[in-house]
Amino acid sequence: MISKEACIVGLKESFKELITAFKALFPKNKEELTLLLFLLLVYGSFGWVIANETCIQDCLIKKYDVYLNYDVGMRFHGVPFGYDIAHPLFNLYSTPISLVLEFFMDFHGNYKIKTIGFAMICNLMVSLSAVYIYRYLVEIVKIKNILILSLLVLFYAFSFTCLVLSFTIETYAFSIFFLSFFVYYYSLRIQEGRKFRFLTNLFFCFVLGGITITNTAKAMIPMFLVKEKFSKVLKQTFIIGCLLLICFLAAIYREGVFEFFLFRFTDARPTEASEMLFLSGWKALVGGAVLFPNIMTTLDIIPKDTAVLVGLEYKDYFMYEIDAIPFSYVWEHAYTIFLTLLIFIPLFTDFRNKLVQLLFLLFSVDIVLHMILKYGMLEAYIYGGHWVYIVPLLFGWGYKSLAGWKKYTYLGVIGCLFICMVINNYVRLIAFIDEVKLVWPPESYKW
């Protein structure tokens, strides 16, 4: 039996650990602050245009649009006190933000305040995630060369996933923020040989699982990489899993979306199975997280009887949807191959490193979900927020594990891929902005 005094001491230590984690959320030095301000400016330069000069992100009770196939919550597209269908626990994070922005929106009589406010929050979260990548590379991988640090961090910051999440009012912006910080924080504890307290583990599991239920598994993985008895870790994960499962089932039961939740999962799986399908899914998962794709705009009609299923009770809904066109150029396929090779090199050169093992175990969750279970297999590019932060970290470990000409060849290939990515993403981002200005001009937002 645990004594009362020991329990109190344990709680105090747990809260101290959580406070330490909270303090680590903010930039530590002028280098991190400079990086944060730079990315806020870069992302804001085009995010402001999209939020202010188009209606694609407007949060009014007008229409329910899902562009780029992101499963954007209804809360962000027209139901001020509604729920997020796919992630019912996400209400805990989105409700306070929505209420504050709606207050200022009503106070000033300008609906754009909410749109711009959410876009700024997404911008901040993606920018901070890049700060944690920089911190990981400096403090854990121990890379000191400022040019190499800049290359790896900007490779991440200018990837398709980060660019699009910086202005997209979406759960993935929250995911990429918490996951990148989570990887840094737990990796530092593993490197220092510290054990994880139950309350801290429960908190991270609840936060990550509340945003996307599959991220719960990622929050549990580091627990098995510390010097702790396997039986004790297994007991902790079982208790945490049961608690979170109860919370999740209670949430979907309360919202009455259990059948819809199952429908979303089965509907997102491709019906056919072949080797070419697997390759297409892999290109979408790996290359699609980095390269901005070509886009195509389609118009769908949501009939009233279908709209009622998702809480829309007015009339037939129209939905313009921007879809990503699958890679069709030879260079895009070659890019994915080189990117895959660069990512997996640390698997062979530095696999005994527990921190490298952690990164691959985290990535394996996405591989199992999208490539084996085939959930969203052909649309895997939209799930980049769940794993793209791993790319620069693996680049860092790959660079550190090599020597001589291999090290500089590895770095040179990364540099070439970076240049190709920046040119491609810039051109296609401009095309994307022109498209949304044409299809979703602000004056056309009438219902």
Mean pLDDT across 390-400: 96
- Max Cα-Cα span within the chain: 67
> 375-385: per-residue pLDDT in tens?
877 777 778 88
Lowest mean pLDDT among 127-141, 142-156, 224-238: 224-238
Question: Which band of pLDDT confidence, cut at 50, 70 and 90, is reported for residue 358?
Answer: very high
User: What average pLDDT does the chain have?
Assistant: 81
> 54-67: per-residue pLDDT in tens?
877 775 543 334 44
Q: Are the CB atoms for 378 and 371 separated by under 8 Å?
A: no
Cα separation values, 267 from 228, 263, 376, 385, Å: 41, 6, 9, 21
Give the model's pLDDT for residue 158.
97
Give the model's pLDDT for residue 259.
60
Question: Which band of pLDDT confidence, cut at 50, 70 and 90, is reported for residue 337?
Answer: very high
Return d(Cα 188, Cα 28) in angstroms, integer: 15
Main-chain phi, psi angles of 167, to 5 degrees: -130, 0
> 260-293: per-residue pLDDT in tens?
556 555 655 666 655 567 788 898 899 999 999 9
* Residue of 126, 118, 111 whose CA lies nearest to 95: 118
Residue 124 has pLDDT above 60, yes or no: yes
> 291-328: per-residue pLDDT in tens?
999 888 776 665 555 544 444 444 445 566 777 888 88
pTM: predicted TM-score of the whole model, two decimal places: 0.88
Question: Which band of pLDDT confidence, cut at 50, 70 and 90, is reported for residue 73?
Answer: very low
Question: In what helix (H) or strand (E) does residue 369 lie, and over which residues does it extend?
Answer: none
* Residue, of 93 and 159, whose pLDDT is higher: 159
Return d(Cα 342, Cα 422) in angstroms, integer: 18
The residues with which 302 forms a beta bridge, in sequence order, are 317
Instruction: Give the CA angle between residues 22, 28, 31 to the nearest 5°.
Output: 145
Give the model's pLDDT for residue 6.
62
